Structure 1
Amino acid sequence: MSQAHPSVPASSDACTSILDNDLYKFTMQQAVLQHYPNTPCHYRFTNRSPALAQLPAKALPWLKEKINDFAQLRLCPEERQFLEEKCPFLSKTYLDWLQDEFRFDPSNEVAIQWVTGVNPDNSSLQTTSATVDSLSSTSGSQDDHAEITITGLWHQVILYEVPILALVSEAHLRFGDQKWSHEGQFEKAKLKAERLVRAGAKFAEFGTRRRRDFETQQIVLSGLKAGSPLPSQAGRGQGFLTGTSNLHFARTMDLAPIGTMAHEWFMGIAAILGSAAKANQVALERWAETYPGHVLGIALTDTFTTEVFLKTFKGSVARDWPGVRHDSGDPGEFMERMIQYYDQDPEVGKEGRKTKRIVFSDGLTVDKAIQLQEAADAKGILVSFGIGTHFTNDYENSPAMNIVIKLHSCAGKECVKLSDDKSKISGRPAILEEVKQQTGAMI
């Protein structure tokens, strides 16, 4: 049974390194700098399941303090050396800029307020707001909620998303649900790793954004490492821990950093172009220019639905890109669809398909990953898994928040995400309808 969490400490280990973030934020930052510098953008925080878990008002002063601390973060020489050695696709020009010029400016780039008397999903209702400094200790309505926005140049503010989400998750559990402890997390993670290894699954830890807290992620990664052979020592048919999306833990725990791109890359380009119909093609082309040889060649398919994506992902494109990432919709159906698609493409075919990889990353559990691994083995396609919340925030009777920060506008135009899952669609109805007409998406 879970024990009560210790009293809230005065300080936190959370986000004390600029690398306490996911790799794909840095890979996208480099690509944005190359292709779309000085492009204004705006991000918004959303709690997708407020009835399940809500951030209390009394957590906001702590949250604001921790975000303001980002201003002190710098890329230190040891971290720079790590990136040079483990991420050779990050150029010297980019790393020089990151080390010498990039700085967070949260007082000007991040706004936090408490909104009362409004349902977050119904913007027609009346709203009132309070600054963090004027908050009372309790919320008066189940519709009251925190509003977090991030505004600035795209390349300057792109790194906020993951560490802010991690802090929101931690704040919810420090100031709200405290019926939990770190006890047993190492053993639980080790058992999960051992099951995946036996099933032959190659899996990475993707849990920074919704982790219980910094210490939980560290404990979980220690358990995953203990339950997995090193990649170089895995036996035939064995799975193994491929690495982590978190650059800080990759450095401090001697793990491979894992990641490519996120939905915002496609969403931002669609807004810049003024056309979602062209966004997939341009996004893939620009990415390949930044990362030649498809060194980061796992393409995300579902920003405007996989159906729309596959209109671009064909012929030499399907042949040259090593694989795709699934992040919404039914994973089994997606696997079948991609196998048939590769088989029918004359540039790939059945033999080429056997070399292609699907990376699954949508709400995975160990059971789901094992089922997908068994199906892939039977059908003849490579798969691997990015597992997040199920690793870093798996507590009985203490649910994790289902939270996101999405790109809301870029270059002065609203951004849209359609997805293969209706619950993940974002954007105003009028703009969504416009994008559906542009792309022919049937959702």
Structure 2
Amino acid sequence: MATDPLSSSISTNTVILELGHKIFRAGYAGDFRPRCTAPAPPISARTFSGYLSALTPALSNLLLQGLLAGTAPGGGLRAIVLDRGLGEDPRFRRAVVWALLDGLGGVPSDRGRALVGSVCFLPSIVAALYSMPRASGRTKQEEEDDVSRKFTTGTVALVVDWGAADVRVACVYHDGGEDYGWDGRDVTPAHVIDGTYQVCPMGFESILRNLRQYLPASSPNGDTWSRSDTFEIFQTITRTMITNGTLHPSCKDVVDNFAEKKEEEPSTSYPVTLPSSGHLSFPVLPDPVLDSLALIFDANDPDSPPYALLECLLSCPIDMRKRAASNILVVGGGAEALRGAGVDVIAGLRCATERGVSEGRKFARLKVCVEGMVIRDPVGKERELGAWLGASVAACAEEIGTGGWITRASFLPREED
């Protein structure tokens, strides 16, 4: 009788950590969603020394006061850390390892062992593959039941990880377990296909930065514009325009429409009410919001997510292109934030890529692939948790190899040399 990997005993000593741009998440392998969260260190701390000093308190808050609060941890925990980058500055990985193995590793447990004994990094864009729904039209519970099974060998997907800081796109291929030559030395039998990894700077924060440039120097209460205020403006204007029919949820033709509006009379303003200003209502023109949406859905702009998606697909081996295009997965907090503003990201990406194929000679050869494009949400429909859920599934399905683990015994002596 096959066992459900999400009830595996591995979940008792393995934690999944997602160290995001804005928020840290933690939970046990086998959980369908994180059990606790904590704020990420501020951007100003993201030098190596600053990040290292800020990381240990943040992780202590996340684990000791969060995930493990009220329990008596036995020590020797294994930590799988989701890593958004591929080949990025290794100093930040080193800071994470140091904080977990030395900062938290020095915390005694009830059995006298270090709290965290080993760390493994799993690229979030690879982890997301494990949250891929197997079929459309299923209920949330049916999808959760299905995702807990052993992952299907030979699966290829194009993963769009739309974060706060940037958008990362890659074709990810699962080439099998032990029966297919995987000896467990790699982190997982799923990997990014060489040459397909793309990064574009149009994360959700870039939308807010662009919008902030158009706003007055100060908010109605005289303070500088906060992120929450800017997001409230973006969300209010976008939802209002979608509701009154001025803007399609997919943002189709927003690029052309905004270009035309620049030459016309100023648009009618919309009232926006901010809690931070004492619920004072003030008028805001929709043009800055349209400009932000035009930036992210312009498939002819090399910095846009649709362009990165097409570039990734073009870089994929020819025999895998159609399979990847029919299995596109969108994850990340940035995509979820857009959905919160009423934007249909999946329809928007589809419209933008179709436009990019029809208007640009570079991607014309992808027409057949784009016509058969299928874009999905992760299991549970929670985009911001797609990579986290995938890591949870991969750990319990025994897809995490032995070669990627950094142990306390092997790491600390090298650091002392």
Q: Same fold (TM over 0.5)?
A: no
Provide the TM-score with structure 1 as the length reference: 0.29
TM-score (norm 2): 0.30
